[in-house]
Each structure stands twice: as C-alpha cells, then as structure tokens.
A and B are shown apart, each in its own frame.
Chain A
C-alpha cells in the first residue's frame, strides 16, 4: 500500500473547481484519494503550483508516418547528443531527435513537462501493429491512438447510402481490431482523391468514384460517433488545410455540427473536436494577402458549445510536418522543395511528410504564429480550447512551455514580434499586437489537462485531481501568488517539473527522470450485437481488395501492451 501526500501547493484543478488555493493532494495505490495515513510519504509543494498530469489531445508520437519522419531525417539528430550540446542521458535509454523524438525521448520529455497521457492523432488501421510496438517502447506516458476513418472505403460506402448503423458497427469492429480509441477524420475524401493525384478542396467537392461529399462524410461520422456514444467525439482535420482564405471552409465545416448534441456517459459535451485550428484560420487569397481569421473563427466557436478545438500553435522552429492529408504535403513540397515522403494506404488513408523551417523572419510564418496565439486569446470557454502544436507539424511538443509563456505574457509576445523582420506585415495582418489579454494558471490548467481530458471523455481518470482519478500529477516550480515578471521563468518552470507523478510513482524530480514505470494503451471497447451484413462486407473486402489476410489484420492480443479499455455498451 503506497501512500503519498503533496502538501501546501497552490492547486489548480478545474475538474474539482480548485483555483489556486493551498491544498493537500493525497495518493494511495496510484489513485487520488481523500486522505492518507500518517505514514504517507510527504512532498512539500510550498510555493509551488500543483496540477493534474497534462493531457495532450492531439499529437503525432507513434506509428508509421512519425517513424518514417524519424527515418528520413538523420539531420534532425545532428549535434543533439550530450557531447554535442544536447540532453544528457537520464533514463534507461538514450534520447534522440529534436522535431521527431525517439519513443524513449518522447516518453521522458512529456514526463518532464508534467504530461502523463497523450492521444496519438492518426493511426492507419492497416499499420496498427506498428503503432502498438511503438507504444510498448514509449516509457511512462499512457497513450491512446485514433484510427483514421475519413477516407476509409467502408465508411465512404456506408455513408453514401446513409447506413449509419452499419457504419457504426464497422467502426466498433475496427476500434477492437486496432485497439483504437476514437474516430479520426483527416481531409475527408481528399486523401482518397489524392490516391488519383487529386484533392477535395471544400466540403462540397465530391470524392472521385465514391460519389459522396466531405460534408456528408463529416455528418455521417458525427452521427456514427453519437450512435455509439464513444468517449471522444469525431476528431476532425478538415478540408483545405493551410491555404490562404481557408477560414470560410472552416466555418462551413464547423457549421455541420449544428443541431447535433453529444450522447455519451462520459461527460463529453462536443460532437466535433476541430484540431489544429490555426492551420484552418487564414484570410487572403494569396501568400501576399495572407492574414489571420482567428477572430472570425473564434467568434463562431465561442457561440457553438458543441465544438472543441485545439490551437496548433507555430513555435518558430525547424520541424517536420506530417499528416494523413496526403495532398497537402504534396502541395507543401512544391512550395519549399524539401524532401517529401508519401504513403497511400490501401482502402484506408494516406500520409505525407515534409520538413519545414518556420523562419520567424518570413511574414507568412509570423502571421501563422500570431494566428495560433490569437485563437487562444479570443477564446471564452477555456474548457473547450486546448494547447497543442499539432506536434510535430507546427513545432515539437517540447515547446509547450513557450506557448504557455506567450499566452500568459503580453511582454513575451511583443518581444518575439519585435524580433521578426516581417513585423510590420505581421502586425497589419493580425490582431495580436493589440491584444493584451494574459491567461492565468487556472486557464492554462483548463487548456492543458482538464479540458482535453473532458473532451476525450476521460476526466474521471485523467486531467483531474478529484478522488478516484489516476494519481498523475505535475508540480511546477512556480509561485502562483508571485508569478515572475520575467516571462522566461514561466517557460523555464513549465519545461521541467519539480515533480511529475505517474499513477503514484515519482517519475521526474528536479526536471530529471528518476523512474520509468510501464505505460498503458488506452482504447475503447464497444460491445454491441454482431452485424452480419458488416461482417460479410469485411470478409469480402479482405478477399478482394486487401493484401493482408483478415485473420492477420486485427492486432493480436499479445501485440497490445498493458491495455486499458474504456467500455461502451450499445444495446
């Protein structure tokens, strides 16, 4: 019976409504409890900030495209070892890579930031065994992965025929086959079109051959998700990412959620999570007239309480873009001419990878940077707006502390803006320079743990300090009552926790890895009556179109590591 008590910290826990009061947090056997015995080991958090372990709702950390990104970028590892001025080995295994860290570095780095659960944003179902192998080799942090559905032939066919029940049954089957957690949709229809070298540039642009529009796919997936009552909502990366003027497409996409209400037992309120909104909030009709539409987009999001979003903030680093949006990556390589990987996956999805240098002296990059921050600063309900960098697309997750600094400090924002060569253009094309809002620690806690956990339908386990939740806790060396006037110290404090606790085990102390307990694979187990039609369709597709046998497709149970099922019953 291991007991631990964290004493006298300033506690920020939006799930239980604690707003920086001094409080003690008691832990027993890996869970948060109301009280512990006098024998409990004590951690003095006096003068420090205590939050639940961070929850990343959208990140690319395990799986085939992440790994091809690692493989194709040896230069991402250049001079990043210890004698080369990088990280010193702290855990059992070495830490390699900057923008696309090795699995070991991923686990250690998230833990150092105080994160304990992350959601891999795109799992190609055919490649699911690969995703699970990487989860096995990622230390400390719990991981779930979302299979992609938006270009899946089964879904395209069922949804074209409005067969929501069959589509839902297929989704339930695939979640089990891949040990996936929820429904991801990337560039609906566009990636299938890309298999012919084409794209779907807006929600009404029909998918070649399948004769369905992205709008129909999105609505169909919302309906399927709510039919099943999954913990998370549809997780959407919409059409026309990254292009000037795309915010009208984004608004059209978000409006598809109108009239839908979340149906689930997990406390989730949204029906669409629109990810990396920054990439979808641009004005203009060319790179010359490029501008931020953060205000227009957030005005809508603020009103629509069945939508959640994450920011996808640009960190101004050299990074590696990677997405199941195959046509976007092809477009990007035609702009920056750097190396380009692509992998179309039979019947299911595709992906692309291109390195990208977010050069702060480029006006377009400066505008992207401002747009991401504006989305956060225009937000009204921080339980629906989450901090991400769409890791590694807009920058590596290791920069979250920098994003937090920018959101908490106008001084920090202005200093960065001042350092940009295209400053005047950035100021003209965005509102950032005139926004003096500074977020507080309670809002940061909403945006980095409580909010994402609720949106994932898991706030009883993660992102919470309420009794019964996993004892995942981050203690930051930050005096909540006397925040430093130097914003760099805020970034510093969020970069290395004083302590990170994972299921009751101290894994980080003084910013260094001190233990690495094994993680969990989080997935959604749907129980519903067998659908013979769907099972017949599955058999047929495997006989005719797949190149892998059906019996070898579903991940074998012994290839899933320390699974933790979220159970859903569909009558």
Chain B
C-alpha cells in the first residue's frame, strides 16, 4: 500500500466539492496529475492543487492507495464519493457526503462528519470518531434503494434519518440519536448504543434495530413478542424483542410473515 498525503494550504471561501479525492482517481497518477484533478467551489472549477500540497505516492490500483488528509477540511464535501477500494484518513472534521455511494475500502474521519454520511453505500467501512448529523446511511431522495452493504460506525451521536430505506449493511451509532431510524427499511441493521427520541422502524418492511439505551416515544406499530439473548457489536445482552411496523405491508417467507424487529435492551 502506498500513501498520498494531502495537506491543506488554502481554505476555500465557500465550500469545496472534493469528489476527486478517492483512491480510485488517485491510483496510478503522479502527484502533479493528482494536484490537477478538479474540485468545484460553486461554479468555479479549481484544481485540488489550489488548496492542497501533495506528498508521497499513489499505488497502482485503488486497493493499493491510501490517502491522508491533513488540515481543517470541515468546509469540504464528498470525500471518497463512489470509492471502491483503498483507504482515506481525514485528520479533522469533514463536511457532507463522506463516503457517499461508497462501494468498498475504508474511510476514517477523526472529527465530526456532516449530513449524508455514506448515503446509498454498497460496501466498505466508514468510521467517524466524532459526531454525525442527519441522513447517516440513508437513501438518496426518492430512491427506494438505500444503503445496501458495508459498515458505518459513528462514535459520537447522530441526528435523524439513520438508515432510511436501508436494504442491507450495518450502521452503529455509539451515542444518542434523534428520530427516524430504519424508516422505510427493507433490510439492514442499525445499532444505537445511546437513547433515541422516537420513530424507530416506522414504515419498516423488514430490518433489525438494536437500542441499548431508551426509546422515549415508541411507535404504536411495534408489539413485544419475546425476551431474547442476542449478540450486538461483539457483546451479548438481554433484549425485549418487538415486531412491526404492524401498519406497514409485510412479506412472507415459506408461508411465514417476516416482520421488522426492534431489540430494546431489557
């Protein structure tokens, strides 16, 4: 694995779209070619080199390329958009769309990440050491195919719309979350280690939510069916199992109705 280190030398006046910062686009390029890759600030098309200085070298393929981003890039969006392999380490907070439509590889954000973290993600792994905001691993507007694979771990808290229209993969929020977890989901797993305000599993067809804290306002559409021991992010707990959303349509498998589940720590 080779490493390209990009260090911020110039803050954008507005916000910069760093859709070019992916191992896929860096791989096989010289540092000069990488510095020439485009980045939008509004309608102005800059080069990455206008904002960053580059050191190290890229690998021959995305999988062999690691990108380290140094400096305060909280006004920069779209790191790792559609990346398929390799690694990105962001040593500060980042703006919206970290790892959006990501298919593989690994992203670590040392600070906070803004909205649309890992939306419509298909695979790979994202770790945010700070907080996330809204739409973690949710679908793009209108799409019924949300996050379908991979893992998003947020060590802090998150906002609303976590795993909306999710069909697969795992989201772990280690802190609290606000509302709308797994809304419209048709699969996938969301683990909230803190408390949730409410609306967990609304309009959910299927999928699994694990809540280790409290749900302040549970939905009427979930009913308790059992108390079970389950493993959750490497630990085993006793959970009350709720099924639902009883208001939503349900599929059948081998004649048996498949429900969504909420596992609430007993």
Q: Does a CB–CB distance below 8 Å link A and B in the complex?
A: yes
A binding-site residues for B, Cβ under 8 Å: 72-75, 78-79, 83, 337-339
**CB-based contact A74/B144 at 8 Å:** no
**CB-based contact B140/A78 at 8 Å:** yes
Most buried by A among B38, B140, B142: B142
- Residues in A with CB closer than 8 Å to B143 are 74-75, 78
Size bin of chain B's contact surface? under 10
Q: How far is the CA of A83 from the CA of B81 in the complex (A)?
A: 13
Chain A, Cβ-Cβ closest to B249: A337
**CB-based contact B249/A75 at 8 Å:** no
Q: How far is the CA of A75 from the CA of B249 in the complex (A)?
A: 23
**CB-based contact B249/A74 at 8 Å:** no
**CB-based contact A73/B249 at 8 Å:** no
Q: Which of A72, A79, A83, A337 contacts B142 (CB 8 A)?
A: A72
Q: How far is the CA of A83 from the CA of B37 in the complex (A)?
A: 12
- Residues in A with CB closer than 8 Å to B101 are 79
- Residues in B with CB closer than 8 Å to A78 are 140, 143
CB distance from A426 to the nearest CB of B (A): 26
CB distance from B48 to the nearest CB of A (A): 15
B43 on interface, CB distance cutoff 8 Å: no
B253 on interface, CB distance cutoff 8 Å: no
- What secondary structure prevails in chain B residues at the interface with A? loop
Contact with A along B1-29 (1 / 0, CB 8 A): 00000000000000000010000000000
- Residues in A with CB closer than 8 Å to B252 are none
B141 on interface, CB distance cutoff 8 Å: yes
- Residues in B with CB closer than 8 Å to A337 are 249
Q: How far is the CA of A78 from the CA of B142 in the complex (A)?
A: 10
- Residues in B with CB closer than 8 Å to A79 are 101
**CB-based contact A339/B140 at 8 Å:** no
Q: Which of B19, B38, B142 contacts A74 (CB 8 A)?
A: B142
**CB-based contact B144/A339 at 8 Å:** yes
Q: How far is the CA of A83 from the CA of B17 in the complex (A)?
A: 13
CB distance from B122 to the nearest CB of A (A): 13
Chain A, Cβ-Cβ closest to B141: A74
Chain B, Cβ-Cβ closest to A338: B144
Chain B, Cβ-Cβ closest to A336: B144
- Residues in B with CB closer than 8 Å to A75 are 140-143
CB distance from B126 to the nearest CB of A (A): 20
Q: How far is the CA of A338 from the CA of B142 in the complex (A)?
A: 10
Q: Which 4 A-B pairs have the closest CB atoms?
A: A75-B143, A74-B142, A74-B141, A75-B142
Contact with A along B207-243 (1 / 0, CB 8 A): 0000000000000000000000000000000000000
- Residues in A with CB closer than 8 Å to B144 are 338-339
Q: How far is the CA of A252 from the CA of B143 in the complex (A)?
A: 40
Q: How far is the CA of A76 from the CA of B141 in the complex (A)?
A: 10
- Residues in B with CB closer than 8 Å to A339 are 142, 144
A-B contact pairs, 11 of them (CB 8 A): A74-B141, A74-B142, A74-B143, A75-B141, A75-B143, A78-B140, A78-B143, A79-B101, A83-B19, A337-B249, A338-B144
- Residues in B with CB closer than 8 Å to A73 are 142
Chain A, Cβ-Cβ closest to B38: A83
CB distance from A70 to the nearest CB of B (A): 11
Chain A, Cβ-Cβ closest to B186: A337
Most buried by B among A72, A74, A75: A75
Q: How far is the CA of A78 from the CA of B143 in the complex (A)?
A: 9
Chain A, Cβ-Cβ closest to B120: A78
- Residues in A with CB closer than 8 Å to B38 are 83
Q: How far is the CA of A78 from the CA of B141 in the complex (A)?
A: 10
Q: How far is the CA of A557 from the CA of B145 in the complex (A)?
A: 45
Contact with A along B241-253 (1 / 0, CB 8 A): 0000000010000
Q: How far is the CA of A337 from the CA of B141 in the complex (A)?
A: 17
Q: How far is the CA of A79 from the CA of B101 in the complex (A)?
A: 11
Q: Apart from A72-B142, A74-B141, A338-B144, what are 16 other A-B pairs with CB-CB below 8 Å?
A: A73-B142, A74-B140, A74-B142, A74-B143, A75-B140, A75-B141, A75-B142, A75-B143, A78-B140, A78-B143, A79-B101, A83-B19, A83-B38, A337-B249, A339-B142, A339-B144
